Structure 1
Amino acid sequence: MKRLLPLGTALLVSLASYAQKPFTTGNQRWADSVFARLTVDEKIGQLMMPRANFTNQPYDQEKLKSWVRDYKVGGFVWFANQPYRQTSMINDLQALSTVPMMMGEDLEWGLTMRLDSTVRYPYALTLGAIRMNDDWFYRMGKQIGEQCRRAGIHINYAPVADVNNNPNNPVIGFRSFGENREEVLRKSQAYMRGMQDAGLITTAKHFPGHGDTDVDSHADLPIINHTRARLDSLELYPFKRLIERGLNGVMIAHLSIPALDPTPNQASTLSKPIVTDLLRKELGFEGLIFTDAMEMQGVAKHYPPGVAGVKALLAGNDVLETFTDVPVMFQAIKKALQSGEISQADLDDKVRRILRAKAWLGLDKYQPAPLARLSEDLNQPRAEALARKMAEGSITVLRNEAGTLPIKDLMHTKVAAISVGTPAQGPANPTAFQSMLMNYLPVDTFRVDTKTPEAQLTAIKEKLAGYDLVLVSLHSPFMRSANAWPEPNLKLAKNFTGLSNAAYLFFGNPYVLNQLPGMEQSKALVVTYQETAVMQELAAQLVGGGIGANGQLPVTVNPNFKFGDGLRVQPMGRFQYAMPEMVGIDSRILNAKLDSIVNQGLMAKAYPGASVLVAKDGAVIFKKVYGKPTYESSQLVREGDLYDLASVTKVSTSVLALMRMQDEGKFRPDMTLGELFPKWKNSNKANLKLIDILTHQAGLKAWIPFWQTALDSTSESGWKPRTFSTEQSRRYPIAVADHLFLHRRYRRELLRQIEESPVKPKQGYVYSDLSYYLYPQIVEKLTGEKWEDYLKNTFYRPMGATTLTYNPREHYPLDRIIPTEYDSLFRKELIQGRVHDEGATLMGGISGHAGLFGTANDLAKLYQMYLNGGVYGNQRFISEKTLHQWTSYPFPVEVNSRRGIGFDKPDRNRPGLSGPPSASPASFGHSGFTGTFVWVEPKEKMLYIFLSNRVYPTRNNSKIGQLNIRTQFGEMIYEAIRQSAVVGF
């Protein structure tokens, strides 16, 4: 299996082999031959890259084609549109051109800056918060370069090498890596190298530095009144170093800089002292020089288009870009050439440089960009994974009083999460932050916006006072500068600042913190720089303890929050929710395989719906629901729906509790049942050892149809006296169905039948439920706590696995509980929210062998604890020694048992019988009659959960077993691991 180079190695290879002089590796012969045959008019055309379209507007195809045919333009600059449409148009235009054109686009944070449905990398300011990781930035550049070339783009107007040290900068701001020149340089350099290694022309911008302005050059001409010494030490610094390290393109800003050129109203774009004398001669830049958009008011306000174009060329620019008056620009240049204002030698020098660049791009062998699979190729999961990882690395914690975050005590901390600034759609529509947070613990959610009435805001604030922790998320789409937030938004935010029990999550431009007094006194303050769904989800994972934080402020906000500030926060060992690529698995392979096997079951009607989860290396990498609760249902299965876990209950309750009892010295697997349960010390089961019972080879009867023993065909009700009633009362308090109630003492009769059942020690392996009816009583006696309370308080609630419960009707609405079977014999109704197993029903829904309900997500936390050797969330629940003992084969091969102590394991003689065929001897799990399955694979640090209601509408449906759906689901995970060749993080 081919493996990629580690990223550090890949970057070192790039640095070692990088050409210092741009465009020296192209086909020079081709460039010379093309130059030799160009007419003067065609040479002029090479200098022009006009605007191809306006944002999200239709292309004027005939006009663009006429510019190619009549003016031989050297390329186009593209703006927002749809990838397929743009690439198709690029191909059409290239087909008309006698010299392949260069296509350019502003794609600073990836193609998504202009093209919909593509990978979104974080903004530069967000990336500026990452404590430097050259590999990530290099890889990002490489990926963006590959995506550009795939879409037919040759020039990315990036990186932004401006050092942004002016909070009021209206045009750079979040587009800069920050205020520190070294950070800006390192990140720009790694980003540049990645793009250029992918065969892309980069254009560091906005030379000589646009960071310290308070005017947008789109609207007017900014003035920078700094000395040359200051410019050399700060603004020019990144550009100088990038040029030294192989930069192949520069974009000139529209700035007035008197220290470099005192000409009034002279944009740097039009300044020979800046473009030629400083950039070309003094700094020795030999790559392509591009103007910024010639239609921007920073230049267009003071000169007509044609005049500005000529002046830009005279200043030393090679390429004029982004304008719509091609005929005017062409004629102005030609006139200047004919008059001698522009020399032929100067024109030829620019054209030769452009053609060398085109040769370096491989345009001597131009091929149109294939349209087939364009969307798939532009959305590689590895790119999305990198973008997520970089976003995670940027998260910055500025306050964390007494370790408020992550939340340590999930069991006792009452939490509310209020979203401030997003449309107030109510708790039924939580934000991405709130939704992710619910994977960790129950949260009450609120949403308010600028339209929320004052009285409602006051009522919400009063209610929030009753919580131990309030997570206030402040949302803003206004990113430009410190003054970006409108007054109504600031007023709304100030309503919820200064809360004594609050931690703040700020999703926006950090400069705005200066307008929110009191934030420096908050219990916790987290800055994520953007309010994308990814950022919100990552912030929630930080709060929940799934990830840590290592970011630093890339800018100074005020004396309380300065450049470089950022507390390091460690994760708590709870689940991270990640893409498969982050653990070295190709998500396309994994998704295709798992979707295929689950959908096979759906199509075969092996079950109406399913909820599945895969975790690896402590990260949930696949969590998905399929189908409907019933075949007739109009609603779909949801991730928060609870399933009847059936016999998975055994290893999620009884086995769990007994292992804990062993750690506490209250239980040993070699004890006899008579020792553990003295009530039966005189029964035929008194001398049975628990290890034999728990491995199903003690001779116990498989099961007893308890409800059938209560039948009496001679009675009017059909039941024996003191068993069932159709009306609930003190004597018949236990509801086993909507209209069927059990006598309060019938459980004694059930246990009597188990006690008197025969024992056949020589019968060998026979799977039996009977002992599991006893464990709740045993554990209650050993702990002094009720069975369900013990499980929830000792295990589930501390883990945040709060949906794991018996009798879910008491805690959840019915529409959150997946139905099981229509019981036409005993309960004569659809079973929903009550345990499917008849014996557990007769125990009031609470037993050690069945009755537990829960979601895939919460169940997975318990099995991650097992996988971790007894630890979850930095808390030890079971000793590693005990867990190893119970999950190993307790008997030699000759015994021919596939069981651990309580757990199921791979059959040593028939792989694939009880678990996936590729399961290792160390793996373990259990299946459930209703269609459930759990499996833990220590060898791969992997587990999976498969929940379904295959018994709907009848248990006679055995297709899930016939098709081996649950074990094949696991096998597909093993195959995906083997077939993947993905560099993780």
Structure 2
Amino acid sequence: MGRTILAAVALLSVTALAGSATASPGNANGHFDRPQRGFAPSETVLRDGSPADVGLDPAPIDAALQQIAAWTEKTPGREHPMYAGAVSLLVHDGVVVRRDAVGHEVRYSDGEGTELPADQQEPMRADTIFDVASISKLFTSIAALQLVDDGAVRLDAPVAEYLPEFGVNGKQAITVEQLLTHTSGLQAEAQLWKLPPEQRIPSIMQLTPEHPPGTNYTYSDPNMITLGVLVQRITGEPLDRVVAERITGPLGMRDTGYNPPAAELHRVAATEFQADPPRGMVRGKVHDENAWSLGGVAGQAGVFSTADDLATLGQALLNGGTYAGNRILSEDGVTRMLTDFNGDFPGNAHGLGFELDQRWYMAGLSAPHTAGHTGYTGTSLVIDPLSRSVAVLLTNRVHPSREWGSNNQARQALAQGMARALAVRPEFGSESWSADRPGTLTTDPLGPVSGPVQVTYSAFVDVQRDADGVDPLLLESSVDGTTWQPVAVRADGPGAPEGAQEQLAGSGHRSWWQVRGSVAAEPGEQVRLRWRYAPDDQYTGRGVNVDGILAADRDATLLDGELQADRLHPEGWISTDR
């Protein structure tokens, strides 16, 4: 009962998501600092357009796509290309603003990276079909939530109520919700492919949890394998048929499903050359060994899809579960997917199916209800309700070997390109000062002053704040221009930290803060001020903006940044109207 109450409270905290859109379509078009409330209009369907059509700056997107293209070859610090090829697709406000394909579907002949002759290599296409790996978990989750909508399954019910054979070895109390949020206590992996076929699913049913249910977060394939079996048991249909009839069919996702037909093999990106098990170069069959051992259809992996199809799924969820007149999930169901049920496990925010607020691949699009998932083969899907944006990156990074490394930098680059393309409207006048990399904004000497200097300004802060590191914005002062001291400030506004702070950080609120601080100074001294942005090197947000700078002592205004912009000296900062 306690867990159910917590879930209800979590849902109440985002009632704006569950309601119909109250703002007119496009009223926040192209803006990062005007977060949308509610779902997009249900009639929104994807159409092609340009960044300019929806108020986006194309330059950050173009820069991201150039970098993604560069990673198809060796780059400094990498022994191998990051991936053989990639397809990127970006959506904002229902408009597909970029669709880009680079590199190759097939490039190598073996696991050592021997390149095929040029005439046997196959170029990547915008409609290339990818093994999306763990993004498959979203389809299983939606299928399960459809059963919740139908009243056939209860989230707080023990899984054993639907799968009696599961209720052994300490699993009797594991609930459906805990499978969806990876809090069941089950281990991360199982090696079903090493077992005889008749033992594979029974071995999942016989697992003993590593932790008591609800006490630990462990991202677990057995959770989703079990959920897939549950869907099949309740519907009486194979999982692939359920997904086709209840999700991909209604949404018109023609290129999405399990075990792609041989006629489409020429459009399928190759994955890994596998020696154990001895599968050779895998193409058109699921890469995940467990899903492969289950005939290519499993709750945790097995789905193949295209960038356009995944964008359609993303828009359907932004619309509140409907697309082109076909509803696949209730608004309540979508809200549950976008609501964090894992508040007890900081850093592992998770809705029912979706990961939430994961800056490591969502970059500047990250926010409490930004939803997404990645796939081991090199895929990612990010859905940002606040800006009504979707970012899809599909790569075959395991071609020819998983040992060639991660493509997280590319995931970050695409999401950050979209975030930077969205405008942050100046709080005052026509421009504000902006930084998305380390730098300083320094004033001329101010004074001689009559005493302490009061400083006020507006700050837009979208920078990381967590236990692993902070991207801080600092206000500092100096009387000699060499030695700088932090100035404690107080910020007011949505998401602002409470009390005096020597650095400002925060993300997801997407609102301007009003900031004030006091600089100790003796009469007759001259004071310099500087704003310093010191981002973490690994995971950055959209960055920071400062506007409306005023500095005064008890007798006079010492600096009005709107009227005296020439007295501010940027290094790494720019003056921008967005």
If the length of structure 2 is used for normalisation, what is the TM-score?
0.60
Query: Which of 861, 876, 888 matches 2:339?
Result: 888
1:107-122 aligned within 5 A = none
Query: Is 1:935 aligned to residue 382 of structure 2?
Result: yes
How many angstroms apart in 2 are the aligned matches of 1:940 and 1:929?
27
Would the aligned equivalents of 2:128 and 2:267 in 1 still touch at CA under 8 Å? Answer: yes
d(CA) in 2 for partners of 1:915 and 1:592?
17
CA distance in 1, matches of 2:83, 2:174: 39
Supply the distance in 2 between the matched residues of 1:847 and 1:765 (Cα, whole angstroms): 22
Matched, 1:761 2:211: yes
- What is the CA–CA distance in structure 1 between the aligned matches of 2:42 and 2:170, rounded to whole Å? 52
Shift of 1:696: 1.6
1:922 counterpart letter in structure 2: H
Query: Secondary structure in 2 aligned to 1:863?
Result: helix
Q: How does 1:84-95 map to 2 (within 5 A)?
A: none
Deviations along 1:239-264, one digit per CA (max 9) or x if unpaired, are: xxxxxxxxxxxxxxxxxxxxxxxxxx
Over residues 790-841 of structure 1, what are the superposed CA-to-partner deviations in whole Å (9 max), with x where a residue is unaligned? 2112221222111101111x25332111110000120241000000000000
- In structure 1, the residue matched to 2:95 is 619
Secondary structure, aligned partner of 2:355: coil
Looking at structure 2, the residues matched to 864 and 618 of structure 1 have their Cα atoms a distance apart, in angstroms, of: 7
2:45 maps to what in 1?
A: 574
For 2:229, the equivalent position in structure 1 comes to 777
Residue 850 of structure 1: aligned partner: 301
Pairing 1:634–2:86 present: no
Residue 803 in structure 1 maps to residue 255 in structure 2 = yes
**Match in the other structure for 2:415:** 970
- 1:702 corresponds in structure 2 to 188
Cα RMSD after superposing both structures: 2.5
Q: What's the counterpart of residue 221 of structure 1?
A: none
1:869 aligns with 2:320: yes
Cα 1:931–1:894 change in 2 (3 A) is: closer
Render the CA deviation track for 1:279-312: whole Å, top value 9, x for unaligned. Answer: xxxxxxxxxxxxxxxxxxxxxxxxxxxxxxxxxx
Q: Counterpart in 2 of 1:829?
A: 280
Query: Structure 1 pair 774/693, CA: closer, same or farther in 2 (3 Å)?
Result: closer
> How far has the Cα of 1:661 moved from its partner?
0.9
Q: How many Å separate the matches in 2 of 1:825 and 1:974?
A: 41
Relative contact order higher in (CA < 8 Å, ≥ 6 apart)? 2
Query: Is the 8 Å Cα contact of residues 614 and 622 (structure 1) preserved in structure 2?
Result: yes
Contact 1:614 1:943 in 2 (8 A): yes
Secondary structure class of the residue paired with 1:848: coil
- Shift in Å, 1:917: 4.1
Q: Is the 8 A contact 1:589 1:980 kept in 2?
A: no
Q: CA–CA distance in 1 between the matches of 2:100 and 2:151?
A: 40
Deviations 1:726-754 (A, max 9, x none): xxxxxxxxxxxxxxxxxxxx1x3011222
Separation in structure 2 between the aligned mates of residue 967 and residue 916 of structure 1, nearest angstrom: 5
Q: Does 1:585 align with 2:59?
A: no
Structure 1 residues 822, 753: CA separation in 2 closer, same or farther (over 3 Å shift)?
same
The Cα shift of 1:674 comes to: 0.8
Q: Deviations over 1:903-926 (max 9, x none)?
A: 11115xxxx235324411110110
CA distance in structure 2 between the partners assigned to 1:806 and 1:621 by the alignment: 28
| Alpha-carbon distance between aligned partners in 2 of 1:973 and 1:864, rounded to the nearest angstrom | 16
Residue of 272, 291, 296 corresponding to 1:840: 291
Shift of 1:860: 1.2
Deviation at 1:682, TM superposition (A): 3.7
- Cα distance in 2 for residues equivalent to 1:805 and 1:818: 15
* Mapped contact 2:54–2:93 kept (Cα < 8 A): yes
CA shift at 1:893, angstroms? 5.6
Following the alignment from structure 2 to structure 1, what is the Cα–Cα distance between the partners of residues 73 and 338? 32
Shift, 1:947, TM fit: 0.5
Take 1:824 and 1:799, find their aligned partners in 2: how far apart are those partners? 38
Equivalent residues of 1:598, 1:969 under 8 A apart: no
Q: What's 2:179 paired with?
A: 693
1:786 aligns with 2:238: yes
Amino acid at match of 1:594: L
Percent of aligned positions that are identical: 27
- Which amino acid counterpart does residue 614 of structure 1 have in structure 2? L
1:263-662 alignment to 2 at 5 Å?
573-600=44-71, 602-604=73-75, 605-631=81-107, 632=115, 633-651=120-138, 653-662=139-148
- For structure 2, the residue ranges without an aligned partner over 5 or more in a row are 1-40, 76-80, 108-114, 427-578
Q: Name stretches of at least 5 consecutive residues in structure 1 with no aligned partner.
A: 1-569, 711-722, 724-745
The question of whether the paired residues in 2 share the 8 Å contact of 1:602 and 1:609 is answered with: no
The number of aligned residues is 370
Q: CA deviation at 1:683?
A: 4.3
Q: Distance in 2 between matches of 1:603 and 1:755?
A: 45
More strand per residue: 2
Distance 1:838 1:600 in 2: 27
Offset, 1:706: 2.3
Following TM superposition, by how much is the alpha carbon of 1:878 offset from its aligned partner in structure 2, in angstroms? 0.9
Structure 1 CA distance for aligned equivalents of residues 42 and 406 of structure 2: 42
Q: TM-score, normalization: structure 1?
A: 0.36
User: What whole-Å deviation, never above 9, does each CA across 1:132-174 have from its counterpart, x for those lacking one?
Assistant: xxxxxxxxxxxxxxxxxxxxxxxxxxxxxxxxxxxxxxxxxxx
Aligned residue for 1:761, secondary structure, equals coil
Return closer, same or farther for 1:680/1:593 CA change in 2, 3 Å cut-off: closer
SS at match of 1:972: helix
Equivalent residue runs for 1:40-59 within 5 Å: none
Query: Equivalents in 2 of 1:869, 1:931: separation in Å?
Result: 27
Which amino acid letter does the alignment assign opposite residue 82 of structure 2? A
SS at match of 2:253: coil
Aligned residue in 2 for 1:924 = 371
Residues 920/756 of structure 1: CA separation in 2 closer, same or farther (3 Å cut): same
Q: Alpha carbons of 1:603 and 1:859: their partners in 2 closer, same or farther (altered >3 Å)?
A: same
